[in-house]
Structures are given as C-alpha cells and as structure tokens.
Amino acid sequence: MSTRSLICEKIGDDKYKAIYCHSDGYLTHNGAMLIDHYKDREKVKELLNLGNISCLCEKINPDPSKPHSFDYNQRQDDVVVAYGRDRGETDQEATICSLQKLKEWGWIEYIYIFNGKGKWEYAEYPFSAFKTVQEGLDKEYKNLGIKRPKDFYGFWTDKTLEAERKRQEQEEM
C-alpha cells in the first residue's frame, strides 16, 4: 500500500502548481526529504517540472553514465523516479489549481506546499490546518521518543524503532 501525496508550490493567491507522488508520502519520508533536499525555489521548480512521480529521492537528475528507468533493477537509488521521464508516460505534467482543488484530489493522504517564503508546510487528510514540516517532524519524533536521525527517510517499524533507540542510547554514553 502506498502513501500518496501532493507536492506543490504556491505560485499566487490561491494558486498552486502540484504534482502527484505515489509512494512514501508520510512525514518521515517525503516531509523530511523535502526540507532536507528541496530548500530553494529553483530546485522545487526543477522537481515540479518533472511532473508526476512515483517516488521522491535526494536527487532529481540521474547520473547519465548509469542506467535509470522506472524498472526496479534499472533505478539509481537516490534519484527521483518520474512517470514521464522514466516510464515514458504522457500527460504527467504538473497541475495548476486552487487549494480547494488540491484538497479534493482524491486518495491523497498528505499535501506538501512550498509556501513562497522558503518553508515547507503540510496537512494530513482531511486537510484542515497546515503546519510547517519541521514542526510536524519535531512532534513526530518526540512521540516516537527518539531524535531525528540525520539522513533518515522512511517508515518506523517496532523493530527499527527499538534498534534506533538503542543506538541513540549508546551514542549518548
């Protein structure tokens, strides 16, 4: 099961440029990835220009000397996988719409918005209040009882969470 999200940039009064992201839309993956690797407007625009994506990663563009496609065995692990560029699909361009239209997209669990002031905001379904991604991550990690690990983008299972707690306890000794 995928956690679907929208990644957007505010481009005017109630006007947003948005792409769909199929996988890993939860806060500890896409949210963390966005605030760590998509901090400036130019990089956000480059990401949105890819159109809809399967998964968000640290890098937008693959190393041209290595294979990169939609196929799992042909992917570069740290590179965004885009439906248009990497699978040859058409009609995958970003959409321009209002906030209400974003909220009505369907099957979306998170909406991320680059707010024009250099900050990422997000809301979870049913999309009432938007908060900063940093605020959400701080709360999430406080609830998990650990500090946010550097460069971790993923989902915590009981097993991985327990291992991280032990690692952080040993680090503090």
Q: Which amino acid, residue 43?
A: K
Tell me: the pLDDT tens digits for 55-65? 999 999 999 99
How many domains in the chain? 1
pLDDT of residue 43: 97
pTM as predicted: 0.95
Give the domain extent around 56.
Answer: 5-172
Whose structure tokens read 């690990």?
Answer: 149
How far lies 131's CA from each of 54, 68, 147, in Å? 24, 35, 20
Whether 72 shows a pLDDT value over 90: the answer reads no
